Amino acid sequence: MRLVAVIAALFSMLTLVASPARAADVGFQEVKIANGAEPPLTAGIWYPTDASATPHSLGDVTQTVALDGPLAGRGLSLIVMSHGGGGWYDGHYDTALALAHAGFVVAAVSHAGDTFNDQSRVLQLWRRPAQLHRLVDYMLDEWPSHARLDAARVGAFGFSNGGFTVLVAAGGIPDLSKISPYCEAHPDHDLCEALKHAGVDPHLGTKIPASAWIHDSRIKAVVIAAPAFGFAFGRAGLSSVHAPIQLWRAANDSHQPHPYYEEAIRADLPQDPDYHVVANAGHYDFLPPCDARLSGKMPDLCNSAPGFNRAAFHAQFNADVVRFFAATLR
């Protein structure tokens, strides 16, 4: 019996080491990050706190957070987030809240030139990994509480264009010259119609050198949901991606049709990812559930297919994301 008790105690200790401590509440702050000669980047940061959280209106949603509350804990893992095209840093706030409640610090950047109010550089995709790299620099070296982060435990989360971004950050090298033949073969696909509507030459990728893509070796684990431009990587372009990956596909994604996006990435990664296919889900079901007001304002982003429960899915999705980062950032 004494031996059983000792084994149980050791197992309990190992579980505590492998899992981040849960926080009573979540703190939040918005920061401006100097970005060389360009205007500062805007980022949101969620983190564990012992301060009391209250409801606050942030953008189009209400979040229960302690604004600028003190950080609780030390040696904390950092998760950086990259939103989809036309989004902003708050685009995956529910996942950020779930991670912060689980003891992670989460920082999400608004990608300048590819946000809801600034589409001026939406197809200059090489800018995004550089901005994410700058976010990691800020959090580990300049954020006032940076000394309480563990620089050896950094993860990244990305959706759509953000999924592309974090895959590049993890070592991927896309070949955008593949866009033109892809669109010649699939002129009716959303990407190709959008390029045509915007008057963008699909041959633009032939002018982008491999050196334009910024990688970040500090990122040790990656969650990718509905990644854009999956077909542009190939086996050679993914050969340097060695971080563990959790990859998500919406089964009914009409914006990024199967098998040219997630499946193309899954098939060419050096190691098999933790792969999830969400039945009956559409592309935008990876965004948080909307209230009635927001659904009326943005129906294309908010409305799911009949019978699909986005709220129930996000409860499971967020739990799976937390478990993945807890297991891989030990």
For residue 10, being part of any structural domain is answered with no
Residue 244 and residue 298 share a domain: yes
- Averaged pLDDT, 178-194: 93
For residue 43, being part of any structural domain is answered with yes
Q: Which domain holds residue 309?
A: 18-174+213-328
Q: What is the pLDDT of residues 88-132, one digit of tens each?
A: 999 999 999 999 999 999 999 999 989 888 878 877 899 999 999
Total structural domains within the chain: 2
Residue 200 and residue 155 share a domain: no
Tally of CB atoms within 10 A around 297: 12
The domain boundary residue, chosen from 185, 210, 235 = 210
Query: Per-residue pLDDT for 14 more than 50?
Result: no
Residues in the chain: 330
For residue 159, being part of any structural domain is answered with yes
Residue 191 and residue 86 share a domain: no
For residue 221, the one-letter residue type is: A
For residue 181, being part of any structural domain is answered with yes
Q: Provide, rounded to the nearest whole percent, the portion of the chain with pLDDT above 90.
A: 81
Cα–Cα distance for residue pair 3/6, rounded to 1 Å:
5
Q: Give the domain CATH number at 101.
A: 3.40.50.1820
Residue 202 and residue 117 share a domain: no
Confidence of residue 34 (pLDDT cuts 50, 70, 90): very high
Cα–Cα distance for residue pair 289/294, rounded to 1 Å:
9
What is the per-residue DSSP string for 67-109?
ETPPP--SSEEEEEEE--TTB-GGGGHHHHHHHHHTT-EEEEE
Q: What is the pLDDT of residue 17?
A: 38
Residue 256 and residue 201 share a domain: no
Q: What is the pLDDT of residues 232-286, one digit of tens each?
A: 999 999 999 999 999 999 999 999 999 999 999 999 999 999 999 999 999 999 9
Cα distances (Å, whole numbers) of residue 98 to 67, 104, 130, 161, 316 = 17, 9, 26, 22, 11
Grouping H, G, I as helix, E, B as strand and the rest as coil, residue 48 is strand
- Pair 216, 130: CB distance under 8 Å: no
Residue 186 and residue 169 share a domain: no
For residue 12, being part of any structural domain is answered with no
Strand runs labelled E in the chain = 25-35, 38-49, 54-58, 61-67, 76-82, 105-109, 149-159, 219-225, 245-250, 274-278
- Averaged pLDDT, 191-211: 80
The domain boundary residue, chosen from 160, 186, 210 = 210
Six-digit token string for 181: 């033949």
Residue 274 and residue 185 share a domain: no
Residue 150 and residue 34 share a domain: yes
